[in-house]
Copies of this chain bind each other. A is one copy, B any other.
Amino acid sequence: MSTPHYSVVEMSEAEVAQEREVLGGLAGAVRALADASLRSTIDLEEIAEIREAVDGLTERLRREQIEGSFGVSFTPDGTVRGHGNAVVGLRNPIAVPLSIHKDADGRATTAFTLGALYEGPPGCVHGGVLALLLDQVLGECAAASGSPGMTGTLTLRYLRPTPLGDCSIEAWVDRVDGVKTFVHGELRRADGKPTVDVEGIFILPRWAREALEKEGRNPPRFE
The answer on a CB contact under 8 Å between B72 and A54 is: no
**Known contacts A22-B44, A30-B54, A122-B71: A61-B84 contact under CB 8 Å:** no
Chain A 92-136 per-residue mask, 1 if CB under 8 angstroms from chain B, else 0: 111000000000000000000000111111110011110111111
- Whether A171 sits at the interface, judged by CB under 8 Å, is no
A218 on interface, CB distance cutoff 8 Å: no
Which residue in chain B gives the minimum CB-CB distance to A42?
A: B64
Q: What is the interface size of chain A, counting residues whose CB is below 8 A from a CB of the partner?
A: 85
Contact B128 A150 (CB under 8 A): no
Q: In the complex, are the beta carbons of B155 and A153 less than 8 A apart?
A: yes
Please provide the chain A residues from 1 to 47 with a CB less than 8 Å away from any CB of chain B in the complex. Answer: 1, 5-6, 18-19, 22-23, 25-27, 29-30, 32-34, 36-42, 44, 46-47
| Complex contact A41–B65 (CB within 8 A) | yes
Q: Which of A157-165, A173-181, A182-190, A209-217 contacts B (4 or more CB under 8 A)?
A: A157-165
Cβ of A87 within 8 Å of any chain B Cβ, yes or no, is yes
When all copies of this chain in the complex are counted, the total is 2
Who on chain B is nearest to A4 by CB? B122
**Contact A131–B122 (Cβ < 8 Å):** no
Question: Are B66 and A60 interface neighbours, CB within 8 A?
Answer: no
Residue of B nearest to A114 (CB): B86
Asked whether A40 lies within 8 Å of B69 as measured between CB atoms, the reply is no
Contact status A117-B92, CB under 8 Å: yes
What's the minimum C-beta distance from A63 to chain B, rounded to whole angstroms? 6
A45-86 vs B, Cβ < 8 Å mask (1 yes, 0 no) = 011101101110110111111111111100000000000111
Given A120-B86, A127-B154, verify A58-B33 contact (CB < 8 Å): yes
A interface with B by C-beta (< 8 Å): 1, 5-6, 18-19, 22-23, 25-27, 29-30, 32-34, 36-42, 44, 46-48, 50-51, 53-55, 57-58, 60-72, 84-87, 89, 91-94, 116-123, 126-129, 131-136, 139, 150-158, 161, 164
